[in-house]
Structure 1
Amino acid sequence: MSVADLLVVDTTVRTLDPARPTAHAVAVSGDRIVALDDEALELRGAGTEVIDLGGAVTTPGLVDGHMHPLFGAATFYGADLTGCRDLGDLRRSLAKAAPDTDGWVVGWGLDHNVFAGAPPTNAVLEEVLPGRPVFVRLYDGHSALASAEALRVAGVSGPRAFEQRSEVICDVTGAPTGMLLEHAAMALVQDVMPALPDSLLRDRLGASLDAMAATGLTGGCVMDAEAGALELFAGYEESAELPLRLRVAPWCMPGDDVESVLAVQGRRGRRWVVEAVKFFIDGTVEGGTAWLEHPDCHGAGTEAFWRDPAAYTKTVQHLADARVQTVTHAIGDAAVRHVIEALEHVETSGIRHRIEHLETLPRELVPRLVRSGLVSSMQPVHAGFTKADHSDEWSTRLGVERARRAWACRDIRDAGGYLVLGSDWPIATYDARTVLAQARLRRPPGTTDEPVAPAQALTGLMALEGMTSHAAYADGSRDAGRIAVGCRADLTAFNVDPVEAPADELAEAPVRLTVSAGLVTHRGD
């Protein structure tokens, strides 16, 4: 055997391979693991790069199961409003916001709870920035506030009809309040806003992916192809390597030509590939667009994102017949039930279809979900937007009974289901350590907040599996998610043991090394 390109030594390796659970050295050639332990040490040669980890713990490379890297770079920019806790905070942040191109003021990450239960409107935008075109995206990514001037520029003066479940919210007189619900309504204003140049998008994309790699991420499932993502990925690779391997799922919206969605399947670059299709069957709880079996406290949430849910069912079944993986955003209980019913008896031919989010999951649906063969994909970091006492907007909308079902991760695992973990960045932090920690803590790490539904906490091993072996299973990757000879060389090395270390400590622990398909993408101190 030829010498290794890379040799990782003095490390405790959690392989997640039942046949060989631990190791102390890993040899890599190209993008493959070629030897472990003493056999790995024998492959050291003059051209081998040797990385001594000084006792750090190495695991299979972490994968974010649900992310939007370019969509985040292209749309979540301007004033960072994530720290606003009330209208006073929002006023102060808007007053300091610098106008962007053509005088537009853009903000992102605004929490619905800022409005203290009142319907969000653009009144505060008009108060602080009168006459300015302003567009503020709320944290859920499914709603935004637009100022009167922004609406005027976009030609929006009243309600609009959309093929998808989307809405320009209007008052009793028919005048827009500034609240735009779901993608089609937001696009009315976004389409007239100054676009970021491709060169800036490439820079923002690269910076984001570099930062993700520094938290241990080696890959991610990209749940959109918006903002010209495929062209940007291809353009990026003309001069550099993407820091993460990316598996892309373009959107299929109501009314879209399914054949055009199928046509991009298999398109690829060196470190990205299109291999799935993303659907929405509902929206968000806070926006009132989650599809619920019973209305929320405002009487909303009784309709699907697809105005004809049967058309959704027909479309996902068509893709399943074509051996294309489908991933469906389903937050409400009625939404989850419908996706299960649409796919539980479909011949998948080995394709693992997925349900994303499952924020309020009836316990009686869990066995049926697991029997269906569907993979669950959840983001426990989103529980950081809720409170254990149910006083937040998400919980208030749902009511106590449904709020108690929040992110039922442990129920799925205990029932034998596969559970992928992710961040949904830019909706929540991309820091993989925080994702792992919050899956165990059920509260933001480093806080004394009361845990949300603590019985749903995962063990350290379960959390790690959610970003490694279960992520690989979901994607049908037999050569990933574990450290074994012949597998793809995806490695993450921590200063602490991510399984045994206290979760709060893990969230702050340095990542010593990240290797994505043989490419060293991060080196710690």
Structure 2
Amino acid sequence: MSAASSATVFVGGRVLTMDATPCAEAVAVRDGRIVAVGTAAEATAAAGAGATVVDLAGGTLLPGFQDAHVHPLEGGMSLERCDLTAVHALPDYLAAVRAWADAHPTAAWVVGGGWYRDAFPGNRPHRRDLDRVVADRPAYLNGHDGHTAWVNSAALRAAGIDRDTVDPPNGVIERDADGEPTGVLVEDAAAMVSALLPRTSPAELRQAMLTAQAYLHSLGITAWQDAIVGDYLGMPDPFETYRALEAEGLLTARVRGALWWELDRGTEQVPELVERRRLTAGGRFHAGTVKIMQDGICENCTGAMLAPYLDHAGAPTGGTGLSFIPPDELAEITTRLDALGFQVHFHGVGDRAVRECLDAVAAARAANGPNDLRHQIAHLDVVDPQDVPRFADLGVTANLQPLWARRDLEIEETKLPLLGPEREPHHFPFGALADAKADIAMGSDWPVTSPDPLWGLHTAIHRTAPVGDPHGNERARTEALAAEQRLAADVALRGYTHGSARANHLDAETGRIAPGALADMVVVDGDLTDPSAFETARVRSTWVDGVAVYDADRA
């Protein structure tokens, strides 16, 4: 953190408090806490003589954004590996892979990711394309969705995958018409290759996390929930990296860790989770949550649906996706974790998975009684209307990834045809959940998509892609996806600030601007009372404990 005087006053703009009095014109901070919110005169007097003055220059001061579902270590590593997130075309992907391989001739593997299926002919990536640019060593590139890998022939050979290899449980080896693997590996099939990736050193992990933290601070993010603290598809466990950075005083963000529930193990892993929570009790990094992956994603038909997926002619396929944990077992696990005081963070994409997660929480409530653990279901691509009121009834937080709710080509050409017109109105039902009084939190799932809260807020409010996002086509920027599911700007802002703070169990002291609260805040150069401002607004500075952790003028 940069040096700062003990008192700071913020004046010259508007303040959105997310508190009982929603708006103010100035804020005073002393020794890391907010001491006054009100008029410029009141804040200046409270700050006292010699206070540092921050001129908002007509912009907006609000509580720091909190990302309720993000993978910072993976995101930081992606920024330092073969990063495909800034482009959206097969020739550009191949050029980036070739450039990275040429720049790193001694790397045993070419590793990276961020590709989208719709950038490929017929939405089908193929190993032959990768072979053209890197044939001398294995290449492993995660899809932006985090559930699919694109590999070259050398990687398939290294893993012993050929036409005779059987699909693993909860995984698919995609094949061509002749039965040969195409180089696309879905869910646990990707782990057959990712298990072979070179181990990342502690020093590399440390640098990746610091890179991620700096990037997230530059977007106004002061706290987050790491949605997988454990080993997953070749990504290292960030647990010790967080602890080391905290011990060194380098962890400036506040982090809630969601400990990974290993699907191939049962309740014998619970004591390990309890011990990990104990090791982080009271720290800036606190692993008080358990992450359970209940299904896959709709784009590859592994999201668990109540009714079958459709083919592109509109006929039922018979496939309804995968429930990774049998519902009765999920209810038992959730009840056990609930009794031990863990928050449960479910991955629930399809409407059947969402229902199974809600049923599991209902079973825990019946067994253990009510509590304030704030279990949550992330993603919520499709929610059956019957289940929407259950979020508020059960106290389950709807953890939304708002940047997904738009008409990208991958959505238009792949996902919506699989769902069909009857389910399209229930696709990312933000508005319905808000109307039903569900607690709403927001996150990005970065590096699946950009962690920029302002872009996410624009999409939540307008259901269109923001200008500047390379993955949004013209239709996505101009035609809303299920426009009736828009959120009002104030509801969306609350979700990305106080709502996520609540999901992160940080709302007692963050997520609002009020006397006594920690001075975790962000200054944005636009008027965020104007719903049209989010698309082009930018973060000017980010503050944690009243100290600037990002300043655009010095970046």
* Global fold match (TM > 0.5): yes
Q: 1:133-172 to 2 correspondence within 5 Å? A: 133-157=138-162, 158-159=164-165, 165-169=170-174
Per the alignment, in what secondary structure is the counterpart of residue 535 of structure 2? helix
Residue 382 in 1 paired to residue 404 in 2?
yes
1:139–1:91 Cα change, 3 Å: same
Match of 2:223 among 219, 226, 239: 219
1:386–1:52 Cα change, 3 Å: closer
Give the superposition deviation at 1:83: 5.8
Give the superposition deviation at 1:94: 4.3
Per the alignment, in what secondary structure is the counterpart of residue 277 of structure 1? strand
Give the superposition deviation at 1:161: 6.8
Give the superposition deviation at 1:399: 2.1
Give the superposition deviation at 1:352: 0.9
Match of 1:355 among 340, 361, 377: 377
Give the superposition deviation at 1:251: 1.0
Structure 2 contact 7–30 (Cα < 8 Å) conserved: yes
Q: 1:457-476 to 2 correspondence within 5 Å? A: 457-476=486-505
Structure 2 contact 407–481 (Cα < 8 Å) conserved: no
Give the superposition deviation at 1:427: 0.5
Structure 1 contact 386–452 (Cα < 8 Å) conserved: no
Match of 2:354 among 336, 352, 367: 336
Structure 1 contact 63–468 (Cα < 8 Å) conserved: yes
CA RMSD of superposed structures (Å): 2.8
Q: 1:149-298 to 2 correspondence within 5 Å? A: 149-157=154-162, 158-159=164-165, 165-169=170-174, 176-182=181-187, 184-226=188-230, 227-256=236-265, 257-268=269-280, 271-297=284-310
1:160–1:39 Cα change, 3 Å: farther
Residue in 2 aligned with 1:61?
64
Amino acid paired to 1:450: E
Give the superposition deviation at 1:302: 2.4
**2: distance between equivalents of 1:386 and 1:441?**
14
More divergent stretch after superposition (89-98 vs 377-386): 89-98
Residue in 2 aligned with 1:518?
546
Give the superposition deviation at 1:276: 0.6
Per the alignment, in what secondary structure is the counterpart of residue 223 of structure 1? strand
Give the superposition deviation at 1:301: 5.0
Structure 2 contact 406–480 (Cα < 8 Å) conserved: no
More divergent stretch after superposition (116-125 vs 417-426): 116-125
Give the superposition deviation at 1:88: 4.9
Q: How many residues align?
A: 517
Residue 493 in 1 paired to residue 523 in 2?
yes
Structure 1 contact 387–452 (Cα < 8 Å) conserved: no
Amino acid paired to 1:362: D
Residue 479 in 1 paired to residue 509 in 2?
yes
Amino acid paired to 1:507: E
Structure 1 contact 328–354 (Cα < 8 Å) conserved: yes
**2: distance between equivalents of 1:472 and 1:89?**
38
Per the alignment, in what secondary structure is the counterpart of residue 216 of structure 2? helix
More divergent stretch after superposition (300-309 vs 108-117): 300-309
**2: distance between equivalents of 1:91 and 1:44?**
55
1:301–1:494 Cα change, 3 Å: farther
Unaligned runs of 5+ in 2: 231-235, 312-316, 468-473
Q: Cα deviation per residue 1:160-214 (whole Å; 9 max; x = unaligned)? A: 575x6233445688754322221x4323222222234332332232222212212
Give the superposition deviation at 1:54: 3.1
Give the superposition deviation at 1:306: 2.1
1:473–1:95 Cα change, 3 Å: closer
**1: distance between equivalents of 2:48 and 2:338?**
48
Between the aligned residues of both structures, percent identity stands at 30
**1: distance between equivalents of 2:453 and 2:412?**
28
Q: TM-score, length-normalised on structure 1?
A: 0.90
Match of 1:321 among 320, 335, 339: 339
Amino acid paired to 2:284: R
**2: distance between equivalents of 1:83 and 1:400?**
32
Per the alignment, in what secondary structure is the counterpart of residue 344 of structure 1? helix
**1: distance between equivalents of 2:112 and 2:214?**
23
Q: TM-score, length-normalised on structure 2?
A: 0.85
Residue in 1 aligned with 2:470?
none
**1: distance between equivalents of 2:89 and 2:519?**
46
Q: Cα deviation per residue 1:20-78 (whole Å; 9 max; x = unaligned)? A: 33333322233422223355423435664332323432112111121100122235753
1:77–1:137 Cα change, 3 Å: farther
Structure 1 contact 159–176 (Cα < 8 Å) conserved: no
Give the superposition deviation at 1:141: 0.4
More divergent stretch after superposition (301-310 vs 103-112): 301-310
Amino acid paired to 2:171: S
Amino acid paired to 2:447: P
More divergent stretch after superposition (45-54 vs 245-254): 45-54
Give the superposition deviation at 1:353: 0.6
